[in-house]
Amino acid sequence: MFDYKRIPLGPLWTNSYTFDDGNGTAFCVDPGGDPADVVEFLQNRRLKLGAILLTHGHMDHCLGVADLVEATGAPVYMARGDLNMTKDNWANLAVEFGREVPPYEPSKLLDEGDTFSVGRFSLTVLLTPGHTPGSCCYIVEKDGEKLLISGDTLFARSIGRSDLRGGDSEALARSLARLKELKGDLPVLPGHGPETSLDRERQLNPFLQ
């Protein structure tokens, strides 16, 4: 079983997830606001944060990155296609909310099929452009079990928008088709809304029909 905590953060109540490998190491996905609750979770469990993973570069998924790096020293991983969003508040949509994202430097830029480990977790990168040019999903594996972190590509009964700056509806359709074809009924942890599963979305999500 995966041990993680969903902590909604930031102005759009973005789902941030912090995973505990059971051996003192954690990773955090999409700290989209003040990461104080993430830091408290880490401290309470005496966890070392091994990585901060971004599913894409929009403001509501990265607003707390710089503060979390300062608090933990953890490296930041994101897909290469959204690199410009780390310092461009127009590209990351922060200007739409009258905000500024504190700049941060990715430690590793990810490409399709990249694999890496954080503690006892193994992760594989799936590039899923459409919501943004550098949107990606992560397949997380531990002790023979897998789940999918889908960011703003796939939601329960819905999908991410493609009408924002950098969006591409045709690319998103291809990305969704790719997720639909993944093997097995993986649990799905989206960037907003409730958790779901691939089989449930194959059956009920109109965008995967």
28: domain CATH number is 3.60.15.10
**Is 29 inside any structural domain?**
yes
Whether 66 shows a pLDDT value over 90: the answer reads yes
In a domain, 66, yes or no: yes
Asked whether residue 209 is assigned to any structural domain, the reply reads no
Task: State the CB neighbour count (10 A cutoff) for residue 177.
Answer: 10
Q: Residue 177: CB partners within 8 Å, gap ≥ 6?
A: none
pTM: 0.97
Domains identified in the chain, total number: 1
The answer to whether position 131 is within a domain reads yes
Domain containing 177: what range? 3-204
For residue 44, is it within any domain?
A: yes
Q: Looking at residue 1, what is its pLDDT? A: 86
Mean pLDDT of 57-68: 98
Is residue 166 situated within a structural domain?
Answer: yes
If 0-12 CB within 10 Å is exposed, 13-18 middle and 19+ buried, where does residue 120 land? middle
Angstrom distance (rounded) from CA 154 to CA 197: 10
Q: Is residue 129 part of a domain?
A: yes
The span from the CA of 110 to the CA of 80, in Å, is 6
pLDDT beyond 90 at 134 = yes
pLDDT attached to residue 31 = 98
The mean per-residue pLDDT over the stretch 88-117 comes to 96
Residue 64 lies in a domain: yes
